[in-house]
Structure 1
Amino acid sequence: MHIQATGNVYRAKAVTGIKTVTDILMFGAGGHAAAVSDVIRDIEDFNISGVIDDSPSLQGKCLFGSTVIGGRQQLYMNGLDTMAIFLGIGDNLTRARIARSLGGREFPVLVHPTAHIGTNVSLGEGTVVMPRAIIENGARVGAHCIINNGAVVGHGSVVGDYSHVSGNAVLAGGVNLGERCLIGIGGCVLPNVAIGQDSIVSAGSVANRSAPERHYIMSPGSRIFRRFEK
């Protein structure tokens, strides 16, 4: 296995050549943060030392075995200003915006011990690979991506920054996803198909042809609809 990563890769010690650490800050307190906290729990000698969330109602509460210590302003306090951060934010656009606002911090790459990572795979900083996910030979996954439970990224595929391949979704070989794409639960993108940035393949749908940016792809027939402009 050969992983090229723009951030430190954290996984079980049993995997040769992959770094382990002890402390990390979790940014976010919702469902995705809870799922990522389980990944962190399954990585040896790893600890969530604090939770960052901008909601005043959560401050002081115990979440994920740690305490919500405050909003993002706390990231610049002494002792926290150099600590690694993981963005437990499920929404692609929100995750992208926060990541850009925190430029210069360390964002680790988290790989669950049960995930399979093929040869010559590239993982961008802040990406999480969840339990039983598969990333095949030569695939490139960008920064702050979510490769969710049981998802497959086929050989030679490219996943753009801030994208989310949902649980049990499959990207066949040679697929190219733009930035901030969402492949819904159980969705499938067929070989060599390109999906433009900010596009969505709906849950259970099959994308058998390429689609431009900001479009929905829905089955049957891989129908393509332009997304509503905000």
Structure 2
Amino acid sequence: MINPVIIFGTGPMGHHAMEIFESNGVTIYGFLEEDASRHGTELNSISILGRPDDDGFLKLIGKKCDAFVASDDNAYRKSMVKMLNDKRHVQPVNAVHKRAVLGVSVSLGHGNMINSGAIVEGGATIGQHCVIHSNAVVGSMAKLGDYVQIGIGSIVNSNVEIADEAFIGSGVTIVAGVKIGKKARIGAGSVVIASVKDGETVFGNPAQAVK
């Protein structure tokens, strides 16, 4: 990656993205942010330029700059990705910290964030626009769909399948071969030993459905 990056969002994920790109020596052109009160200010000496739909800045993307959407709100991320697809015909780039470890046979989609200390083992498949937080482990042959979030220090063992938009909290352990359904939510610290249905929320050790 040689182009400067425009980061969409100045919240916690915006901070993470900034640190990740800077760890790789990538120039950050600036931030785009919904909150107009922040326009014209700076975040760690990097300018907050304007709104995410400002055509004056969007026209740079795909020519002089790349883009990254830094939000853990999947609905918002989807809307920004669609806008970039429709208006600029581009996908957001990946943000992979230099202290993350990816096996040589990992399959990696677009727009993913993989933070410091995360490990993705060989043969794993990571879809589009996923977030793998610091020190999380994704085991060999595991499969993540799109817009999946893996919390800090969680362990996804080998051959686990996680469907689109699932949320895995911090410190979770998912044993080998388990399937996690679409939009399922796993509470922090849980140990998941059985498959989780679409839309289901589970918590505990062993994890049980929350009603």
When normalised by structure 2's length, the TM-score is 0.92
SS at match of 1:73: coil
Aligned partner (choices 29, 40, 43) of residue 21 of structure 2 = 40
Aligned to 1:50: 30
> Once the two structures are aligned, what percentage of the paired residues are identical?
25
Taking the aligned partners of 1:78 and 1:218, their CA distance within structure 2 comes to 42
Closer/same/farther in 2, CA of residues 186 and 80 from structure 1, 3 Å limit: same
Q: What is the RMSD of the two structures over their aligned residues, measured on CA atoms?
A: 1.6
Closer/same/farther in 2, CA of residues 78 and 197 from structure 1, 3 Å limit: closer
Aligned to 2:71: 89
Taking the aligned partners of 1:75 and 1:106, their CA distance within structure 2 comes to 17
Q: Which has the higher contact order (CA 8 A, sep 6+)?
A: 1
Task: For 2:104, give the aligned amino acid.
Answer: T
Taking the aligned partners of 1:172 and 1:21, their CA distance within structure 2 comes to 34
Aligned to 2:92: 107
Taking the aligned partners of 2:113 and 2:80, their CA distance within structure 1 comes to 16
Contact 1:93–1:180 (CA<8 Å) still a contact in 2? Answer: no
Contact 1:92–1:164 (CA<8 Å) still a contact in 2? Answer: no
SS at match of 2:146: coil
Closer/same/farther in 2, CA of residues 75 and 122 from structure 1, 3 Å limit: farther
Instruction: Establish whether residue 65 from structure 1 lines up as the match of residue 29 from structure 2.
Output: no
Aligned to 1:152: 137
When normalised by structure 1's length, the TM-score is 0.84
How many corresponding residue pairs? 206
Shift of 1:94: 2.4
Q: Deviations over 1:66-89 (max 9, x none)?
A: 111111222454752423110111
Structure 1 gap ranges (5+): 1-19
Contact 1:74–1:80 (CA<8 Å) still a contact in 2? Answer: no
Closer/same/farther in 2, CA of residues 200 and 75 from structure 1, 3 Å limit: farther
Moved over 3 A (4+): 75-79
Q: Deviations over 1:86-130 (max 9, x none)?
A: 011122332223222321224111221111111310111011111
Instruction: Establish whether residue 170 from structure 1 lines up as the match of residue 155 from structure 2.
Output: yes
State which drifts further: 173-182 or 91-100: 91-100
Taking the aligned partners of 1:188 and 1:78, their CA distance within structure 2 comes to 40
